[in-house]
C-alpha cells in the first residue's frame, strides 16, 4: 500500500475520468491506471466500474471511499502535528537546574534575559546537582544552572564544556529563633551539647561545599546530624520548624530572614560565598541556543561594567 494510491483513488472519485486525474496527479494516464490497478489488487476487488461513462464506483469502491478519506485525513493531521512539534523543539531552549535555583533564581533570571532577548520558549528540568551534570554530559539539555564553589568538582572537563557566572550568593547557617530572638541552634555547639544539624545529601553541590568548609576549620563545629535531604526547600522548612540548623542560600531564605522566621546561626566565618554558573557544551548548539548564549554574555558584560562604574563613583 502506498499513500499516493489513496490520493489517486480519491482524485478519480472526484473526476470520474482517468485522463483528467492523471493530469491533476502530474503523471501519464498509463502510469495512473497502473497505480489504480495496484490499489485494487491490494484491496482484492474492483473499485471502479469502467464499463460506464463517466466511470463510477462499484459497491466495494463506495465502501472503501470513506475509509480512504479517513486514513488520509489522519495521516495529514499527524504529519502537521509532528511538523509543529519539530518547529517547537527547534525553538525550545532546555535547561537543567538544581531544585534550589529552579525555585529561587531561574524565574527572575529568565525574565531578565527576556528583557534583552525577547520572549523565549524554554523548558526547565529540576534535579539535584549530580543528575543535572549527567543531563548536560548526555546532551539531554542545552544549558545547566548550578551553584559552584572552588572546593567542589563538578567533573565537567574544560576541554568539552564552558561556563559563565550569571549570579552570586552566600550559603548561611540559619536557625529558627528562640524565645529571646536569638538562634535556637547556635554554632559552634559544645561537646556535651552538639548543635542539631539538618544536612544535605551527598548529591548536593552546596552540601559538599559545606562539608569541605567544616573539615577545613581550625575550630571544629560540634554537630549532631539529625536529618538529611537533597532538597534545600525541605531543609528550610525543617529549620523554620525549629528542628535544627541548616546552611541555605541567602537568596532562598531572604524573606524568612526579613520576616524573623529564621535568623543567622553563626558569624561571617561560617558563611560560604558561592557562584551561580551557566554551563554549556563547547560544541555548536542550535541557532536559538547560540543566540541566547550571546545575550547571556552581553548581559554579564553590561552588569560587570555597571558594577565597575558604581565602584568608581563611590571611591
pLDDT tens string 281-291: 999 998 899 99
Residue 98 pLDDT greater than 60, yes or no: yes
Q: How confident is the model at residue 202 (pLDDT cuts 50, 70, 90)?
A: confident
pLDDT, one tens digit per residue, over 102-137 is 988 999 999 999 998 898 999 999 998 889 999 999
Q: What is the pLDDT of residue 274?
A: 94
User: 3-87 maps to which CATH number?
Assistant: 1.10.10.10
Section 143-148 average pLDDT = 95
Phi, psi of 181 (to 5 degrees): 90, -15
Highest mean pLDDT among 29-33, 60-64, 194-198: 194-198
Question: To the nearest 10°, the Cα dihedral for 90, 92, 96, 101?
Answer: 160
Where along the chain do the CATH 1.10.10.10 domains lie? 3-87
Residue 86 pLDDT greater than 90, yes or no: no
Report helix, strand and coil shares of the chain as percent, to nearest 5. 50, 25, 30
Q: What is the pLDDT of residue 307?
A: 44
145, 276 Cβ separation under 8 angstroms = yes
Dihedral class, residue 181 (left if φ above 0, else alpha if ψ from -120 to 50, else beta)? left
Q: What is the pLDDT of residue 199?
A: 95
Q: What is the pLDDT of residue 144?
A: 97
Q: What percent of the chain has pLDDT over 90?
A: 60
Distance of CA 193 to the CA centre of its chain: 44
Q: What is the pLDDT of residue 78?
A: 84
Helical residues (DSSP H) of 99-225, grouped into ranges: 99-104, 106-117, 129-137, 205-216
Q: How confident is the model at residue 310 (pLDDT cuts 50, 70, 90)?
A: very low
Q: How confident is the model at residue 225 (pLDDT cuts 50, 70, 90)?
A: very high
Domain 169-273 grouped into CATH 3.40.1390.10:
no
In b/e form, how buried is each residue of 41-53, taking b as 16+ CB within 10 angstroms? eebeeebbeeeee
| 101 Cβ contact partners less than 8 Å away, ≥ 6 residues apart | 145, 146, 147, 276
Of 112, 157, 161, give the one whose Cα is nearest residue 285.
Answer: 161
How confident is the prediction for the chain on average, in pLDDT? 89
Where along the chain do the CATH 3.40.190.10 domains lie? 90-166+277-314, 169-273
Question: Which position has the grid cell 485494487?
Answer: 40
Cis peptide preceding 13, ω within 30 of 0: no
pLDDT, one tens digit per residue, over 158-178 is 899 999 999 999 999 999 999
Lowest mean pLDDT among 10-24, 87-101, 138-152: 87-101
32, 44 Cβ separation under 8 angstroms = no
Residue 101 pLDDT greater than 70, yes or no: yes
Class of domain 90-166+277-314: alpha beta
Question: Which position has the grid cell 520572549?
Answer: 119
Residue 85 pLDDT greater than 70, yes or no: no
Amino acid at each position: 500500500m502506498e499513500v499516493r494510491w489513496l490520493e489517486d483513488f480519491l482524485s478519480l472519485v472526484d473526476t470520474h475520468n482517468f485522463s483528467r486525474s492523471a493530469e491533476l496527479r502530474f503523471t501519464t494516464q498509463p502510469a495512473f491506471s497502473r497505480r489504480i490497478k495496484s490499489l485494487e489488487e491490494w484491496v482484492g476487488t474492483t473499485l471502479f466500474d469502467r464499463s460506464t461513462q463517466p466511470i463510477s464506483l462499484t459497491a466495494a469502491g463506495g465502501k472503501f471511499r470513506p475509509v480512504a478519506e479517513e486514513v488520509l485525513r489522519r495521516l495529514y493531521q499527524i504529519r502537521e502535528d509532528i511538523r509543529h512539534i519539530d518547529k517547537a523543539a527547534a525553538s525550545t531552549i532546555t535547561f537543567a537546574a538544581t531544585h534550589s535555583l529552579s525555585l529561587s533564581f531561574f524565574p527572575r533570571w529568565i525574565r531578565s534575559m527576556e528583557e534583552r532577548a525577547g520572549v523565549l520558549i524554554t523548558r526547565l528540568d529540576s534535579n539535584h546537582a549530580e543528575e543535572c551534570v549527567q543531563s548536560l554530559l548526555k546532551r539531554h539539555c542545552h544549558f545547566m544552572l548550578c551553584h559552584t564553589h572552588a572546593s567542589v568538582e563538578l567533573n565537567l572537563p574544560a576541554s568539552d564544556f564552558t561556563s559563565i557566572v550569571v549570579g552570586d550568593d552566600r550559603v548561611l547557617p540559619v536557625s529558627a529563633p528562640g524565645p529571646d530572638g536569638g538562634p535556637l541552634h547556635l554554632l559552634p555547639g559544645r561537646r556535651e551539647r552538639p548543635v542539631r544539624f539538618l544536612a544535605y545529601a551527598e548529591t548536593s553541590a552546596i552540601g559538599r561545599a559545606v562539608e569541605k568548609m567544616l573539615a577545613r576549620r581550625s575550630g571544629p563545629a560540634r554537630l549532631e546530624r539529625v536529618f538529611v535531604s537533597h532538597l534545600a526547600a525541605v531543609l528550610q522548612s525543617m529549620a523554620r520548624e525549629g528542628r535544627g540548623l541548616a546552611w541555605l542560600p541567602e537568596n532562598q531564605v531572604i524573606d524568612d530572614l526579613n520576616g524573623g522566621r529564621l535568623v543567622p546561626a553563626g558569624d561571617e566565618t561560617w558563611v560560604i560565598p558561592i557562584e551561580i554558573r551557566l554551563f554549556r557544551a563547547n560544541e555548536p548548539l542550535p541557532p536559538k541556543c547560540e543566540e541566547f548564549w550571546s545575550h547571556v554574555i552581553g548581559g554579564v558584560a553590561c552588569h560587570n561594567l555597571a558594577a565597575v562604574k558604581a565602584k568608581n563613583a563611590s571611591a
